[in-house]
Chains A and B, each alone.
Chain A
Amino acid sequence: MEMAQELHVLAVDDSHVDRKVIERLLKISCCKVTAVESGTRALQYLGLDGGKSSMGIDGLKVNLILTDYSMPGMTGYELLKKIKESSVLSKIPVVIMSSEKILPRIDRCLEEGAEEFLLKPVKLSDVKRLRDFILRGEGDDNKETEKNIKQVCSRKRKFQDDSMTQSMLSAVVTAHDIELSSQESSASSESQQPLSKQSKIG
């Protein structure tokens, strides 16, 4: 049976701002994302509330649950507990995010079975590290898949990075315009930029 090409991450956070950012971080890291605003919604999605699970319907297995700690109603810790108590879902890795570095809290989460505790704001490097960790954990047979995903993802991102670098370079053009333009020209010819970018220079 072929393994899904992209990891599917369920992100749980009551903050709209943080949901948007984490979603973007995960998409850039080539993960499929389902973002929900509460532990209750997360359990509904996972089918733990007794109702119909959307996960079952479209067969999108969840490879990682990334949840905020401080949420109204059900905290990330309480969500973690419910997942670890479930025979169906306990194998899914759970990572807790928090803006507060409270050691007893971190210990409690790790003891309850959290894979990791991330300090907010979460960075792209954190997400990439997580993704690689999860890929490795998906089994030896999938070493090829892990390599493929990383290669495809970095190819995709390099293209986007190059576009971004070009626009960032333009944004920081200062009195040294001419100098920078000539630097850009040489950088472009080295890294096989698409033709359309070159018209920006000079």
Chain B
Amino acid sequence: MERNNNLHRQVASLRQSLFDQGYVDEQFIELEELQDDATPNFVEEVVTLFYNDSARLIHNIDQSLEEHPLDFAKLDNFMHQFKGSSSSIGAKKVKIECTKFMEYCRAGNVEGCKGTFQQLKREYAVLRKKLEVYFQYARPAGPTDTASYRPK
């Protein structure tokens, strides 16, 4: 029981810091509310889909940023998708960078786009690390959970 309480504290603390440090916003809570005992991994599953989408988009944007001249319409379109999925999981900081990028795109600002994209990739990497740790601890029926914690 003591072990469970410690784990709960750690999970709660990890979760709170995600919000306090601005990594996620209320949309993350909306997703949590869709999770229940029948779908205990829902949030993590949605976030995993986000990682898949993001990997593809980051790759496409990286490639597109190598072109001469830049195709701003194409970049804007990729970023619109990235912003959409970031918004859907409540990825606050990443979404902010997406918005900045799209503003630079619309202004035709090459350096702005490239610089912001580097920042976006950094934010994405940090968010991913934090979420991975959080889900590891928060995952139901983990090794330290006992039968009494999760009703069958």
Interface of A toward B, CB cutoff 8 Å: 15-18, 20-21, 24-25, 28, 70, 99, 120-121, 123-124, 160-161, 163-164, 166-168, 170-175, 177, 194, 196-197, 199-200, 202
Contact = CB atoms under 8 A, between A and B. Distances in A.
B81 A171 contact: no
A174 B12 contact: yes
B11 A171 contact: yes
18 contacts: A15-B84, A15-B88, A17-B53, A17-B85, A24-B34, A24-B42, A25-B34, A124-B34, A168-B32, A171-B12, A171-B15, A173-B5, A173-B8, A173-B12, A174-B12, A194-B151, A200-B148, A200-B149
**Which 8 A-B residue pairings sit nearest by Cβ, starting from the closest?**
A196-B151, A160-B36, A163-B37, A173-B8, A199-B148, A17-B85, A172-B12, A164-B36
Contacts of A174: 9, 12
Interface in B36-79: 36-39, 42, 45-46, 49-50, 52-53
Nearest to A197: B151
A18 B86 CA distance: 10
A55 to B, nearest CB: 27
Nearest to B138: A171
Contacts of A25: 34
A200 B1 CA distance: 9
A158 to B, nearest CB: 11
Interface of chain A: mostly helix, strand, loop or mixed: helix
Interface of B: 1, 5, 8-9, 11-12, 15-16, 27, 30-39, 42, 45-46, 49-50, 52-53, 80-81, 83-85, 87-90, 138, 140, 148-152
A25 B71 CA distance: 36
Contacts of A15: 53, 81, 84-85, 88
B36 A17 contact: no
Contact of A161 (B16, B31, B36): B36
A161 B35 CA distance: 9
A121 B90 CA distance: 9
Nearest to B151: A196
Contact of B87 (A121, A171, A196): A121
Contacts of A197: 151
A87 to B, nearest CB: 34
B88 A200 contact: no
A16 B87 CA distance: 13
Contacts of A124: 30, 33-34
Contacts of B151: 163, 166, 194, 196-197, 200
A149 B137 CA distance: 37
Nearest to B13: A174
Given A17-B46, A121-B27, A124-B34, A171 B84 contact: no
Contacts of A196: 151-152
